[in-house]
Amino acid sequence: MVIKPMIRSNMCLNAHPVGCARDTERQIEYVKAQKAKRGIKSVKEGGKGPKTVLVLGCSTGYGLASRISAAFEYGADTIGVSFEKAPTETKGGTPGWYNNAAFDRAAKKEGLVAETFSADAFSHETRKMIIDEVKKLGKKFDLIIYSLASPVRSDPDKIDEATGQHVLYKSVIKPIGKTYAGLGIDILTDSLKESAAEPANDEEIANTVKVMGGDDWRLWINQLNDAGVLAEGCRTVAYSYIGPELSHAIYRDGTIGQAKKDLEAAAHDLDKVLKESVGGAAYVSVNKGLVTRSSAVIPIISLYLSILFKVMKAKGTHEGCIEQMERLFAERLYTGADSAAGTVPVDSENRIRVDDLEMKDDVQAEVNKLMASVSNENIAQVCDLEGYKHDFLATNGFDVEGVDYTKEITDMTSLD
């Protein structure tokens, strides 16, 4: 069959196996080029960067880019966890399944240890499985990346008496206090579309914090620490976003923002735990705004991003996931001699800021100017529609350079 993107309500519902694999390989090639450019030595070459890395949420976006940076720039052994739907010969899998398969294939070719688990990262059973695995390898983690992004989370310690199942929390993307409305981009028509989000109730706020806040990160680090599988100096990093003031009502001051603030509180708690136990540290890294499955349906975010991309590309400062994570590793985390862990530059809240280029005053001033002038008549000139649509499609393996999308796919499990 010839696979074309299936788009419903600004979401892509399917994936292209070859496109996903090629985009993962593109990111690997970028990191290899940066390794040569920066003169970074891998562990096998005598470098002192990360040696054994756990990536929770390893299959897409910042998690995948982090794993690629750790493995192909620093030569780290990696264990990845994500929950994916595997394909059959005739039925497609999730984009993350194909990304993981492409990563594993490339890592094996390079002689790197890469263990990938499709499992519920929120469960105690998965934590035990990962602890057993790293012990079996005879290694300890010196870096743990927390990049889980899920709309739901089951509570590993609480049972619903009515169902006998673990309590399930569902997150929502809503403002708090009052309705939020704003323009966004309709990906199918290249036009502006107004949408609104009703305010969240107290239960929705609490549930969103349970899903996307710091609870699960705490469980992971504390259980790994108690099991004795954290190396001396181990660091952990979780990812967040703050964004411009114009989006704060729906994001930073909304349900997601409350969860991210809880994540930041967890970073402070875990920092103390790691300092006392292994001389380590915990950070939240605030990253640049990028196209994700959720950002495409949040009022104003899609429009903001399309204008941001145009402004940053004109200035030569635009970055995607892989550029951000490579910079996080090389210019924030591993800045010591021979790429050893160095002193990490942080803001007043102990957060790493790799959204620095996005939040520059001149960038935001230009974005605000264009946001105020955009209309359906000038949208093609004001926005980077082509770039936004490319990123939207590429997350599912479409519109990737070098892929023949007219070619029949006879086996949905194949990456070639």
| Binding region for substrate | 241
SS3 113: coil
Per the CB < 8 A criterion, the answer to whether 354 and 291 are in contact is no
Q: Annotated binding site for NAD(+), which residues?
A: 57-62, 83-84, 120-121, 148-149, 260, 290-292
Strands 7-8 and 11-12, how do they pair?
Answer: antiparallel
Q: What is the largest CA-CA distance in the chain?
A: 62
> Hey, which bits of 62-121 come out as E strands?
77-82, 114-118
Catalytic residue among 74, 251, 334, 388: 251
Structure tokens at 167: 């309590």
Would residue 283 show up in a list of annotated catalytic residues for this protein? no
Q: Which residue has the tokens 């349970």?
A: 210
Beta bridge partners of residue 186, listed in sequence order: 191
Question: In Å, how far are 187, 231, 300, 384, 392 from 376, measured between CA atoms?
Answer: 13, 55, 15, 14, 20
235 exposed, middle or buried (CB, 10 Å; 0-12, 13-18, 19+)? buried
Residue 184: DSSP 8-state = E
Catalytically annotated residues: 251
